[in-house]
Amino acid sequence: MLQLTSVTKTFGGLTAVNDVSLHVPEGEIVGLIGPNGAGKTTVFNLITGIYQPDNGDILFNGKSVLGKYTHDIVSLGIARTFQTIRLFHDLTVLENVLSGCHCRMKSGVLTGMLQTKALREEERKAMIWSLKALKTVGLSGKETLIAKNLAYGNQRLLEIARALATQPRLLILDEPAGGMNEQETQQLVKLIMQLQSQGYTILLIEHDMSLVMKVCKHIVVLEYGAKIAEGSPEQIKQNPKVIEAYLGIEEEEE
């Protein structure tokens, strides 16, 4: 479904992503891990059109997304969440999810002013999708709450619901368990597996290794922008380069 081929991105003299190739097959959950500053979020920003690579190509369902605007990439079926929660904090839970439906609505300013039947039908569908997305992530009953008043873990789930409301085929999650407690993380594991069983393909950045090892079939490891390993959770756990990359960090922190 998603194929990155020899993708490189530099910022001034820094090579944030160095000749990275990775493949996310349809229906699978692929993990992207690596120490801080390894280039993981930059890879997400390249896939979603926030940055353009200096070299390489990014194909989604066989077609290059290079040069496309982020909103066009969302329309193609790629949705993401962010490492730092980016909600409309003063809007309700439901309004936040409805905002995700916007990319699927065709009505313009004129139909909006005229309140046409087509617009009302689109709004009805957006409402159905939004309620469905909230139900999927377990936030039914919280529709009228103001987003900023939700517990932190629920704000992360709301971000996932908003991403689902764009009706994606590929969901990319940037540290979805960040800041979650143990119980919230367990629920998240269940949700991610449930999303896969519903047909979503998932690419995941996560520092919580037990979550990554539980949900991912395939894991790609970056260090200093370059891919140093990839394989099954078992292969990754035993890979000397990966162990060294992570042990190196622990030693530095001591």
Ligand X SMILES: Nc1ncnc2c1ncn2[C@@H]1O[C@H](COP(=O)(O)OP(=O)(O)OP(=O)(O)O)[C@@H](O)[C@H]1O
CA-based radius of gyration for the chain: 19
Residue 152 interacting with ligand X (CB under 6 A) = no
CB of 106 to ligand X, least distance (A): 34
10 near ligand X, rule: CB under 6 A: no
Number of residues that bind ligand X (CB under 6 A): 12
Q: Which two tokens stand for residue 230?
A: 């990839």
Q: Which stretch binds ligand X (CB under 6 A): 11-19, 58-66, 144-152, 212-220?
A: 11-19
Residue 31 lies near ligand X (rule: CB under 6 A): no
C-alpha–C-alpha distance, residues 40 and 204, integer Å = 10
Q: Does residue number 36 form part of the binding site for ligand X (CB under 6 A)?
A: yes
Q: Which of 64, 3, 58 is nearest to 220 (CA)?
A: 3
Q: Which of residues 79-118 bind ligand X (CB under 6 A)?
A: 83
Question: Distance of alpha carbon 99 from its chain centroid, rounded?
Answer: 17
175-234 residues in contact with ligand X (CB under 6 A) are none
Tell me, residue by residue from 42 to 81, as one string, x for binding to ligand X by CB under 6 A and - for no binding.
Answer: x---------------------------------------
Per the rule left: phi > 0, alpha: psi between -120 and 50, beta: everything else, 93 is alpha
Distance CA 121, CA 124 (A): 5
Q: What type of residue sits at position 58?
A: I
Stretch that binds ligand X, among 33-41, 99-107, 179-187, 190-198 (CB under 6 A): 33-41
Instruction: Supply the minimum distance, in Å, between the C-beta of residue 249 and ligand X.
Output: 11
- The residue range among 39-47, 57-65, 105-113, 124-132 that interacts with ligand X, by the rule CB under 6 A, is 39-47
User: Pairing between strand 201-205 and 170-174?
Assistant: parallel
CA 26, CA 168: separation in Å to the nearest integer? 12
Check residue 157 for interaction with ligand X (CB under 6 A). no
Nearer to ligand X, 33 or 65 (CB): 33
Render 135-202 in DSSP notation, one character per residue: HHHT-TT-TTSBGGGS-HHHHHHHHHHHHHHT--SEEEEESTTTT--HHHHHHHHHHHHHHHHTT-EE
CB of 224 to ligand X, least distance (A): 9
Q: Applying CB under 6 A, does 38 fall inside the site for ligand X? A: yes
Residue selected from 20, 22, 30, 39 as contacting ligand X according to rule CB under 6 A: 39
- List residues near ligand X by CB under 6 A: 11, 14, 16, 34, 36-42, 83
